[in-house]
Structure 1
């Protein structure tokens, strides 16, 4: 078995201490800025250094997250912050923004970089693309199966990291624009408002409707699969939870530490007890194994309750009594429905007790809220949390050392030890002739085995020289403290670095031709409208939906004359990767190029075809443009940029750049399909009945906004914005910013609607009878 890293979250110094005490090998945390958990406590510079020194004193690595997209105006400050982190000895950075990656590789070339899961690396070619760009580790998308993890980690030999426990996003990380487009709080900027945890109604035109928390996944828990995960060749098992309490971190890390050690070192571990503890700490209607065994149905969702469900303790009977299914104690948190209380009194057979057990018939107080028939759940266990609190104390964990002591009369005390391959030695006071009873070796060893507020402790002292002499106990204490502090200083200082300003390397920028307008479509009626318009020169065909009637197929490429044709390639490509490559190769004689944001496809075709990068590449700054312009001909800017930010970004651009001016923005793309799970009865044991082919579906939120849901050939779901982006009246302004290519994407528009949009573009003004959105063009994102 290979060495495996247990990587723990820390949203506070207390969580970091708890994780180290319970056996984490590495910690990931965020600073005050540029972190994908902007609402966690996070670490200011002073606390960051203390946390780093504390971790390094235990030999635990620290990875800092700068896993958000950065605006042009933020790059300078971000790079300065990176310099600080480099200087104080951070082990690695977890990054999303490719522009920042480019700058760091130029300035701090030896700084280890990890590709955040926000970079949506989900296939082997994509993983190779970023490792070739200098990233040492890839945090894989959560959507990968165990076989896919094994292929990337073992077969391709790439260092990977995967999530094994905690909250699960329903959309591919880095691809979600739902929070951003609905409320201006961008998940790509660490400010997700979690619209996936809201109630929705999925409505079919023929098949009826269903209301529930349709986009809310259960937390993932892979505690039963640790051996298989280790065997996959991944390097790091990651626990999610920077927003969770230190007690949660303590309990989860301890459980996974024991499970890993059971596999690697055959240590004893009660797996059933571990499961129960994880369930009590936090669950949403139980756990799922996420996508590790390709389960993408309703079994992985918490349709009824999106928060911590707790552990079921029983149903309320007459007079508020309950026959307990689980034990309870004073101070436990109890939930019924959306309400709850802290347990302040327990009555058992008319007498007050501090705790009660399974099978006991009790009454819980305050009892006024819950009624007969209510199901009650224990959401927090005071006894468990009190036990876990013990591990939040600093220096509870000790690193044991073996010491060597010279105790020679008329010579100074000499204390030595070895740690991390280095020798440490200190000299103390003179050993005197004993006027009365000399100090015994046992008494000396007992004194030196003390520890205190320090990570280290002696388990044994070997005496190189021992003579019957005397020295004050305080001298022994001082000697021990001095040696431990020397080790601490030596270990911590060994991670410090000096800032060395590198020179930004000049990149080989592709310069694609000015295309003017590029129109994409997904069905035959849209294509018909485009072909009939003489002004339309560039058409991209998206054949991701051929299982639906009247949608495009590869044969359509052969029948188009006098137009420049592009193949619009899916942004997410997993098991079907080889098939997509085959489709591209078959139509190469008929196409001018590709449109995609899949970096695996970009890697394969960057030297073979003209490539337009799609907006899901998340290009936020000029450095990001340069990063991708080595490999693509025309990059499309992120739709999360506003007018001012686009103008600022484009000031010094020396390549052609595209921007989306019309289309229903894809808010989510997911392996989970709400249509198949609700109307297709898809679960881990049942195949989908193809409901998406039989009807048209809309997801309706609490404000009665409707979002079209499309299912593609790979049974992924695509949720589109309720209103189409329309910037036709801003085209002249965008041209003044040096934008040269304009993207128009049709998804659910009819033939007539396509004609209307084409007419609007020619006139440069919107149809007043139709509702559109300007997206972020005016407002921007936080």
Structure 2
């Protein structure tokens, strides 16, 4: 079976060392800026170089994450930083921003680029699209099943990377605007406030309500599925955890290394022990297999506790004792409810012991705080952490070499070895003829087999010549160090590059057409209001929400075409996420082509298929943050729409010297999350891995209420995918004149859960400026922006 890469996280130098000591093939880490883990320790330039050199001394690859969206003012600094990373020998960059991708492909065409999971690549055509754009590796969305991974990786031959362990986002990565819109901290900029880990109440108009951590998934753990994953053809198995402690990185890496080696080289590995160790390091009410086997129900969620749960050790009896469900030892961290303590004393049969084991009944101290019936959890295992702490020592791992020695009287001592198919040789002091007691082979070999702060060690010494002679032991030690340092220096320097910069290339743009106002809708009532208004010239129908009341269907689009007799341009709005239903969506688009002028989409797979066939409006979920990203897409899209996270100053900056036509959304309830997991079906429909959804979303109207009493509408599309909408609509209608002064002349108005009357209110405001003062709106980021 083929070799596969184990890719480990490093939020610090200690974590990098821990990962390498435990068998990582590659490391991913971030610099001080432009990384999607802005709150990790990360690496400054000096530490970054040390980290790269250290990893390369072990032949471990280094991928640097620059996976945030970049403002126009940041691009030149980002590109300068790319030049530094290129120079010091970073193996590849993991990128989200397509503007930066475009610049790097022009300026540093030899730099390997990986498409971040933040790019939301989740179908085969999308993977092909970005490979054709110069992305060597695709980090697939975590929502893909094993069959989907296999098709993209093995059947299409695309180099992919998948997450196998760690925290899971409930929303498709790169599509989440919840933290951004409600708190100003953008997940697309590495500053997610994790609103998904908060408590929510799901309320149905007639179904009642449920309260819990309804958007908080369990961590992924696929250690039991390594063999089928390897057979899927993916190139790299990624462990999440740049915000975690080095001991966590050490423990997770070593267990996945053992699991991989068990499959590849048939080494022994106690899978259950490994899984238990992973649970002790971090879990949220256990683990889930995420979407690998298409389980999108309640089994993957941690409804009761969103943080590290620890390992259950027992329930307090009436005597104050605990019958242990897991081993404990002095120094362990114990939790009960939201309190806890460090275990300082264990009583078993009234005798003090240092540790106790599963099945035994004991009393744990200090006892203050917990009472009969309390459930106790072991949050940290001192013995495990002490063991893992040993793996944080630099150069603990050694690369074994074979040394060849010429120990010849009256000739310089010579040591040579081979590393990476190259021979290295050094000469030392002259070996003197022995006048008294000559050095033995064993003494010379003992000295040569030592190793200090260096990755290498001689496992075997072969003497080509060995005469009776004498040389100082210090001289042998110095020569050994000289040889190892020569290997190290040459090995590290071989990764260095010169900055052969090239000039950015002009992009060929697809279209120069302005449309003015474009209205989209999902219900018959909304369409009725739009149809009746003669000022509405561009209408986009979303017919993929048939689970909603009064939802639009294909017939409504055809009827509109026949009724309007060319007075209106009709567009089909295509979902941003399309997986197993991809071919069916394509059939619908093809069927609608006679009736439509074009489509609205942010799906790269659909873009690949129709970029040369239809007029394409790019949805705001393309995450266009700068001029270069707009022009990247403008090669294939007629009118790309920019991100909703930009403020007016940043929008104005983008429009300077802009060659392509651009659009902006000026009204609508922002789509905060899109997820394969459905909170309605999982909470009210008993949806689990064993029970199918009972269609609860079609029987009632639902909303999510947060701890601030903000209420968010929930929608479900034809494919049972869920959408969370912002609690209030963004309204920039009174900013249109200013936007026109920036040379923006394309404006989107999205209707999602609005009534017939509310649609007419907005149309009236656009036509006459009559704003309903009793209605609450937000300007989103237009004034404030994101960090």
- 1:351 to partner: Cα distance: 2.9
Q: Is the 8 A contact 2:547 2:716 kept in 1?
A: no
1:625 aligns with 2:630: yes
- 1:715 to partner: Cα distance: 0.3
3-state SS of paired residue (1:276): helix
1:763 aligns with 2:781: no
Which residue is equivalent to 1:278? Answer: 278
For 1:344 and 1:772, how far apart are their aligned partners in 2?
56
- 1:559 to partner: Cα distance: 1.3
Gap runs ≥5 in structure 1: none
For 2:685 and 2:318, how far apart are their aligned partners in 1?
41
Q: Is the 8 A contact 1:731 1:764 kept in 2?
A: no
Which residue is equivalent to 1:692? Answer: 697
Which residue is equivalent to 1:195? Answer: 195
| Correspondence 1:366-515 to 2 at 5 A | 366-515=366-515
- 1:765 to partner: Cα distance: 4.7
3-state SS of paired residue (2:656): helix
1:604 aligns with 2:609: yes
- 1:536 to partner: Cα distance: 0.1
3-state SS of paired residue (1:216): coil
| Correspondence 1:58-207 to 2 at 5 A | 58-207=58-207
Which residue is equivalent to 1:781? Answer: 786
For 2:332 and 2:316, how far apart are their aligned partners in 1?
17
- 1:67 to partner: Cα distance: 0.3
For 1:570 and 1:2, how far apart are their aligned partners in 2?
37
1:235 aligns with 2:235: yes
3-state SS of paired residue (1:652): coil
For 1:343 and 1:45, how far apart are their aligned partners in 2?
41
Q: Is the 8 A contact 2:146 2:229 kept in 1?
A: yes
1:184-218 CA distances to partner (integer Å, 9 max, x unpaired)? 00000000000000000000001110000000000
- 1:567 to partner: Cα distance: 0.5
1:139-186 CA distances to partner (integer Å, 9 max, x unpaired)? 000000000000000111000000000000000000000000000000
1:710 aligns with 2:715: yes
Q: Is the 8 A contact 1:411 1:430 kept in 2?
A: yes
| Correspondence 1:360-371 to 2 at 5 A | 360-371=360-371
| Correspondence 1:575-586 to 2 at 5 A | 575-586=580-591
1:398 to 1:201, Cα distance in 2 relative to 1, 3 A: same
Q: Is the 8 A contact 2:214 2:303 kept in 1?
A: yes
3-state SS of paired residue (1:318): coil
3-state SS of paired residue (1:387): helix
- 1:414 to partner: Cα distance: 1.1
| Correspondence 1:561-572 to 2 at 5 A | 561=564, 562-572=567-577
For 2:513 and 2:359, how far apart are their aligned partners in 1?
76
For 1:659 and 1:691, how far apart are their aligned partners in 2?
35
For 1:359 and 1:750, how far apart are their aligned partners in 2?
61
Q: TM-score, normalised by structure 2?
A: 0.99
1:482-531 CA distances to partner (integer Å, 9 max, x unpaired)? 00000000110000111111111111112241100000000110000000
For 2:176 and 2:537, how far apart are their aligned partners in 1?
31
| Correspondence 1:733-748 to 2 at 5 A | 733-748=738-753
Q: Is the 8 A contact 1:2 1:233 kept in 2?
A: no
For 1:377 and 1:766, how far apart are their aligned partners in 2?
56
Which residue is equivalent to 1:544? Answer: 544
3-state SS of paired residue (1:228): helix
- 1:390 to partner: Cα distance: 0.6
Q: Is the 8 A contact 2:547 2:697 kept in 1?
A: no
For 2:87 and 2:287, how far apart are their aligned partners in 1?
41
1:528-566 CA distances to partner (integer Å, 9 max, x unpaired)? 000000000000000111233421111122112221000
Q: Is the 8 A contact 2:669 2:730 kept in 1?
A: yes
Q: Is the 8 A contact 1:212 1:303 kept in 2?
A: yes
Which residue is equivalent to 2:592? Answer: 587
1:732 aligns with 2:743: no
For 1:357 and 1:466, how far apart are their aligned partners in 2?
57
Number of residue pairs matched by the alignment: 782
- 1:106 to partner: Cα distance: 0.7
For 1:10 and 1:641, how far apart are their aligned partners in 2?
30
| Correspondence 1:203-352 to 2 at 5 A | 203-352=203-352
Which residue is equivalent to 2:37? Answer: 37
For 2:121 and 2:692, how far apart are their aligned partners in 1?
27
- 1:348 to partner: Cα distance: 2.2
| 1:670 alignment partner, one of 671, 675, 678 | 675
For 2:109 and 2:2, how far apart are their aligned partners in 1?
28
For 1:441 and 1:378, how far apart are their aligned partners in 2?
53
- 1:129 to partner: Cα distance: 0.6
3-state SS of paired residue (2:269): coil
1:693-718 CA distances to partner (integer Å, 9 max, x unpaired)? 00000000000000000011000000
For 1:548 and 1:114, how far apart are their aligned partners in 2?
38
- 1:289 to partner: Cα distance: 0.3
1:327-361 CA distances to partner (integer Å, 9 max, x unpaired)? 11111111111111111222223333221222222
- 1:372 to partner: Cα distance: 1.1
Gap runs ≥5 in structure 2: none
3-state SS of paired residue (1:586): helix
1:18-59 CA distances to partner (integer Å, 9 max, x unpaired)? 000000000000001010000011111111111111100000
Which residue is equivalent to 1:52? Answer: 52
1:7 aligns with 2:7: yes
For 2:700 and 2:316, how far apart are their aligned partners in 1?
42
1:719-777 CA distances to partner (integer Å, 9 max, x unpaired)? 00000000011000010011110000000000010000100111235211100010000
1:624-673 CA distances to partner (integer Å, 9 max, x unpaired)? 01100000000000000001100111111122111000000000000000
Q: Is the 8 A contact 2:30 2:66 kept in 1?
A: yes
3-state SS of paired residue (2:556): helix
For 2:69 and 2:284, how far apart are their aligned partners in 1?
30
1:57 to 1:765, Cα distance in 2 relative to 1, 3 A: farther
Q: TM-score, normalised by structure 1?
A: 0.99
3-state SS of paired residue (1:552): coil
Which residue is equivalent to 2:755? Answer: 750
Q: Is the 8 A contact 2:548 2:715 kept in 1?
A: no
Which residue is equivalent to 1:615? Answer: 620
For 2:760 and 2:366, how far apart are their aligned partners in 1?
65
Q: Is the 8 A contact 1:12 1:43 kept in 2?
A: yes
For 2:3 and 2:129, how far apart are their aligned partners in 1?
25
For 1:554 and 1:2, how far apart are their aligned partners in 2?
48
1:599-647 CA distances to partner (integer Å, 9 max, x unpaired)? 1100100000000000000000001011000000000000000011001
Which segment drifts farther, 158-167 or 267-276? 267-276
Q: Is the 8 A contact 1:200 1:699 kept in 2?
A: yes
- 1:367 to partner: Cα distance: 1.3
Name the Cα RMSD after superposition.
0.8
